[in-house]
């Protein structure tokens, strides 16, 4: 599971870096949708290669992490949770900073694996506390995102009805 989490983190990191590989179309490009939009057709190929390469390299790095985390249950769970959840902020914010933050947490777990915390079942209340602190950091602009996390959710109410006398698309 550690190797899989590392591979998922590598893929998420590559996807967050992928827009940097998109270049402008050269004047001699074959006609198509990407050159018509001013983009080079080589960009998606480079981006796919980056995702495959990062997933492969981070899976190899996960092998070394798995050896270090063997037998330390809390550290293994923390590492896997940090790496497997890396695509989540990527879907909401789409930048490298939030994905890299998950990598920093995973590295911190690797360094702190020798600690012997005495967790009990009563400490499960710390999970929602941690999540609420995480969302509050995101809402105050931590990571320099353009919009607060609470404003990214779609509204829960239906769209307002059309004004009387307005023409509709259906006839």
Domain-embedded: residue 133: no
Beta-bridged to residue 24, according to DSSP, are 39
Residue 13's pLDDT is what?
92
Domain-embedded: residue 155: no
Instruction: State pTM to two decimals.
Output: 0.69
CB hemisphere CA count around 91 (13 angstroms): 5
Per-residue pLDDT tens listing for the chain (171 residues): 999 999 999 999 999 988 888 777 777 777 777 777 777 777 788 889 999 999 999 999 999 999 999 988 888 988 999 999 888 888 877 778 888 888 998 999 999 888 877 778 788 888 788 778 777 766 666 555 555 555 555 555 555 555 566 555 554
Residue 158's pLDDT is what?
55
Domain-embedded: residue 98: yes
Give the tens place of pLDDT for each residue, 9-31.
999 999 998 888 877 777 777 77
Domain-embedded: residue 131: no
Q: What is the span of the domain harbouring residue 109?
A: 2-114
Residue 59's pLDDT is what?
94
Q: How many domains does the chain have?
A: 1
Residue 171's pLDDT is what?
45
Domain-embedded: residue 12: yes
Domain-embedded: residue 141: no
């Amino acid at each position: 599971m550690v190797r899989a989490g590392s591979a998922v983190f590598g893929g998420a990191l590559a996807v967050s870096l992928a827009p940097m590989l998109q270049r402008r179309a050269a004047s001699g490009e074959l006609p198509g949708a990407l050159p018509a939009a001013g983009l080079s057709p080589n960009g998606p190929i480079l981006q796919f290669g980056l995702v495959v390469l990062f997933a492969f390299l981070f899976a190899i790095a996960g092998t070394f992490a798995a050896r270090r985390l063997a037998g330390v249950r809390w550290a293994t769970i923390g590492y896997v949770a940090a790496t497997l959840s890396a695509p989540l902020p990527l879907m909401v914010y789409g930048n490298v900073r939030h994905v890299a933050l998950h990598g920093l947490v995973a590295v911190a777990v690797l360094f702190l694996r020798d600690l012997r915390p005495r967790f009990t079942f009563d400490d499960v209340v710390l999970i929602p506390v941690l999540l609420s602190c995480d969302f509050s950091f995101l809402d105050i602009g931590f990571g320099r995102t353009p919009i607060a996390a609470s404003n990214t959710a779609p509204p829960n109410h239906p769209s307002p009805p059309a004004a009387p006398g307005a023409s509709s698309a259906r006839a």
